[in-house]
Amino acid sequence: FIGTGAMNGAIIYGLIKSKIIKSEQIYGYDASDKILNECVKKNEIQKCQSSNELIQKCQVIILGVKPQYLNQVINQINNSLIQVIKEKREILLISIAAGFKLTTIYEQLNQNLKNYLLENENLTKYIKLSRVMPNINCMISESASGYIMHPLNNNDFKFKQIVEIIFSKIGKCVFLTDENYLDCVTGLSGSGPAFVFMFIEALADGGVFTGLSRETSLILATQTVLGLQNYYYNL
C-alpha cells in the first residue's frame, strides 16, 4: 500500500479482518512517518522506507494517495518500474485516487518507460493497471466499489480476479466496462453516504421538532435506515 491514510488504512484493516491475508504479508509506505507508524502499529503490517522498496517486495500495489500527489508518486516509483520491466515481472497497480483517470496514469507511465520496452511491447504486459472507486463504508468493510481494468488488461483474468477479491472482502464490488462510468459511481456511491447522512439528520430533526430527544431521534432514524437496507435486499 502506497499511502496508509484513512482509505488505504481502512482497506488494510478490512483485508486483515477478513483473514484473506495475514498482516505480516502486507507492506505499507507513506510520505508521512506519523501516518505510516500509526497504521503499522494498529494493523501490525510491514513498514517500507520508500515506495520503491515496496514495489520491489510486492506484486499488488494499491495507490491510495490524494489525486494531487499521484503524478509525484508515479515519478518516484519510476526506477522500480524500470526494474520490473528488466526482470520481466508482472505487477498490478491499483489506483483509488478520485477523479484521476487511468488513461492519464497510463500515459504518464508510458512516457516514463517507453524507452525500456521492446519495439512491439506495451507496458501493460508487465504493469497491469486498474482503478477502483470505493466509498467511506470501506472503514466498516461495507464499501460499494466500482472498478475498471485498463482496456489492454481486460483479458488478464488473474489480475482482474485479484481486484475483485480484494474489494469484495471490504463490501460489494462491481466491474465496469468503461472508465466514464466511474464518474457515475463517484456521484452515486461515492457521494451517496453524504446524502444518507443528511437524510438521517433530517429525520432526527423531525423527531426533535415533535418533542423527542435528540438521542432518541437519532437511534430511531438510524435504525429505520439500517432496517430498510436489509428489507430492500430481501424484497
Instruction: Tell me if 217 sits within 8 A of 208, measured CB to CB.
Output: yes
**For the packed helices 6-18 and 33-43, what is the interaxial angle rounded to 10 degrees?**
20
Instruction: Tell me if 81 sits within 8 A of 127, measured CB to CB.
Output: yes
Instruction: Tell me if 111 sits within 8 A of 123, measured CB to CB.
Output: no
Three-class SS state of 150: coil
Instruction: Tell me if 154 sits within 8 A of 160, measured CB to CB.
Output: yes
What is each CA distance from 8 to 39, 95, 106, 144, in whole angstroms?
Answer: 10, 11, 22, 15
Radius of gyration of the chain (CA): 20
Cα separation of 74 and 97, whole Å? Answer: 12
**For the packed helices 102-113 and 67-76, what is the interaxial angle rounded to 10 degrees?**
20
Task: Please enumerate, by residue number, every residue annotated as part of a binding site for NADP(+).
Answer: 2-7
Task: Please enumerate, by residue number, every residue annotated as part of a binding site.
Answer: 2-7
Q: Provide the residue count of the chain.
A: 235
